[in-house]
Amino acid sequence: MRHATAPISYVFGFDNAGHIKDVTPRYVQHWNTVCRKSRVEQKWLEKALKPFLPEKSDRDEQENADLNKIDLDKPLPTTIAECKNHPLYVLKRHLLKFEALYPVEVPSLGFVRGEAIYARECVFVLKTREKWYKEGRVVKPFETAYKVVKCWRYDKEKNEWLGNQPCDIFGIWQTDEYDPPTAENGVVPRNEYGNVELFTPKMLPKKTVHLQLPGLNRVCRRLGIDCAPALTGFEKARMRMIPVYDGFVVCEEFGDQVTEEWYKEMEEEERREQEKLEKRVYGNWKKLIRGVLVRRKLQNKYNFDNL
């Protein structure tokens, strides 16, 4: 390490089994400030190293605890620049648009140039009611927005995006897990548009199953069984939000029946396609043979050697 070129961004440890581990905090003094800013995103690095990590053991857990202790034992940042994007500490000026400190009266850990330093673990991401709903959570009744920001909103009536619209955002502590409705009498619960909003698997209505089988609605219609398209998200196209569907939702008592019928229909459709293909092949051979016979007949009749 004494002969390494500064600044050092990465230090990896290898064992005899070929395992790799990031041990940069142990050897780099300014790990939380200068070093972090010169590295790739931590999540990407963890994903890249995951196949090479050693199996979890008591020794490995102790090593992780020692590396974390190195971070915690280092003194507080002494400049505002060091606080920016720091993994352990944050200033209010560096909070992003959809971030906030919680609780409201969170204690400060110290000061830098008169500004209070707070623990990064007290920073939470705030989201709109719609965003929380798409993650399978709903804002509790009578909750007021923890923060109001300006954002873009899509106006369905005008079919356009409106800017600088007030937007209420909430913290996770202001939400509960979404409690899906229950299917009754063979009818699938759905929204006013006739879809089942299935942004996460836990939003699936009780006593139903999600079948990702294309064209299943035709089978259900033939059998007289209720089903609803599964709305799994939205994508932006031509300045509009387009719904994305993935499969269908049916009551669990009909799940095996419609699945079996769907496979039968697919087999029948494949058989029809095969017959259609064979008919076309035989038709082409028929045309070819007929052409050869006509050619031979003309050769014999008119003695066209080059025909």
Q: How far is the first Cα of the chain from the last one, in angstroms, to the nearest whole number? A: 86
- Among residues 9, 39, 74, which one ends one of the domains? 74
Looking at residue 291, which CATH number applies to its domain?
A: 3.30.70.2460
Q: Please list, in sequence order, all residues whose beta carbon lies within 8 angstroms of the beta carbon of residue 168, skipping any fewer than 6 positions away.
A: 128, 129, 145, 148
Residue 192 forms part of a structural domain: yes
Sheet holding 227-237, edge to edge: 196-197, 227-237, 240-251, 208-211
Cβ atoms within 10 Å of 279's Cβ, excluding its own: 10
Co-location of 212 and 299 in the same domain? yes
Query: Taking the complete model, does pTM exceed 0.85, yes or no?
Result: no
- Among residues 74, 92, 107, which one ends one of the domains? 74
Residue 84 forms part of a structural domain: no
Co-location of 205 and 300 in the same domain? yes
Co-location of 145 and 187 in the same domain? no
Q: 158-192 pLDDT, tens per residue?
A: 777 777 889 999 999 999 999 999 999 999 999 99
Domain that holds residue 153: 126-176
Co-location of 133 and 192 in the same domain? no
Co-location of 291 and 227 in the same domain? yes
Co-location of 35 and 144 in the same domain? no
Q: 205-256 pLDDT, tens per residue?
A: 999 999 999 999 999 999 999 999 999 998 887 767 789 999 999 999 999 9
Co-location of 70 and 156 in the same domain? no
Q: How confident is the model at residue 24 (pLDDT cuts 50, 70, 90)?
A: confident
